[in-house]
Chains A and B, each alone.
Chain A
Amino acid sequence: ETGVTQTPRHLVMGMTNKKSLKCEQHLGHNAMYWYKQSAKKPLELMFVYNFKEQTENNSVPSRFSPECPNSSHLFLHLHTLQPEDSALYLCASSQDMSGGTDTQYFGPGTRLTVL
């Protein structure tokens, strides 16, 4: 138990569906991250929020839309996804982004399958 929770743990959706992934951290951290993890590939950073402000958007397609209403919660809204978007989506948090000792703590991930 890392103090970062994600729901749902598994999600199957069609290409025309709209769904949302939720992440919550109970660590009092100020930075939150969305990553995509595909088999045998490095973790891909998608979005970063620091003190609720989006600081990074790594050329992610607009069919992924993040939302950070407060520093404890992070959402990833999904619509009109493609089968190649099937992957494990990981949320992480860290104290902030000011130092090299800023360890990221991960949630268990949402296994997404797009049909």
Chain B
Amino acid sequence: GQNIDQPTEMTATEGAIVQINCTYQTSGFNGLFWYQQHAGEAPTFLSYNVLDGLEEKGRFSSFLSRSKGYSYLLLKELQMKDSASYLCAAMDSNYQLIWGAGTKLIIKP
């Protein structure tokens, strides 16, 4: 079956760094997406990885290892506004997204 695993909840301190891990099992693979979702709002696109390695976008970076079925989202210089849920989704061979349940990130002052 197809499956995405990510931690349910994480807590970090303002100004620090946090890494949110995601492992996936899909029928075929066409890339890995990360979305951010603030409470009561729409998920918004953060990053897309299809090749192995690290993609950096400002304070956010995303890493992919296809051989390990593993990705992580790295958030640096955490700000209070980064408190949100982070959704990992893998695209299967039919170009459909298989979603994780999301990681709720709590930032403390």
Contact = CB atoms under 8 A, between A and B. Distances in A.
A10 to B, nearest CB: 10
A106 B43 contact: yes
A42 B33 contact: no
B99 A2 contact: no
B99 A43 contact: yes
Interface in B1-53: 4, 8, 30-31, 33, 35, 40-45, 48, 50
Contact of A103 (B48, B96, B102): B48
Interface residues of B, number: 25
Contacts of A69: none
A87 to B, nearest CB: 13
A106 B42 CA distance: 6
B4 to A, nearest CB: 7
A91 to B, nearest CB: 9
A2 B37 CA distance: 13
B75 interface: no
A70 B48 CA distance: 28
A41 B96 CA distance: 17
A106 B35 CA distance: 10
Given A4-B42, A41-B101, A90-B42, A101 B96 contact: no
Contacts of B33: 103
B42 A100 contact: no
Question: Lowest 4 A-B CB distances belong to which pairs?
Answer: A100-B30, A106-B42, A42-B99, A43-B99
Given A43-B89, A100-B91, A106-B43, 14 more contacts: A2-B42, A40-B101, A41-B101, A42-B98, A42-B99, A42-B102, A43-B97, A45-B96, A98-B95, A100-B30, A100-B50, A101-B48, A102-B95, A109-B42
Interface of A: 2, 4, 40-43, 45, 48, 56, 90, 97-109, 111
15 contacts: A2-B42, A40-B101, A41-B101, A42-B99, A42-B102, A90-B42, A97-B95, A100-B31, A100-B50, A100-B91, A100-B95, A101-B31, A104-B97, A108-B41, A108-B42
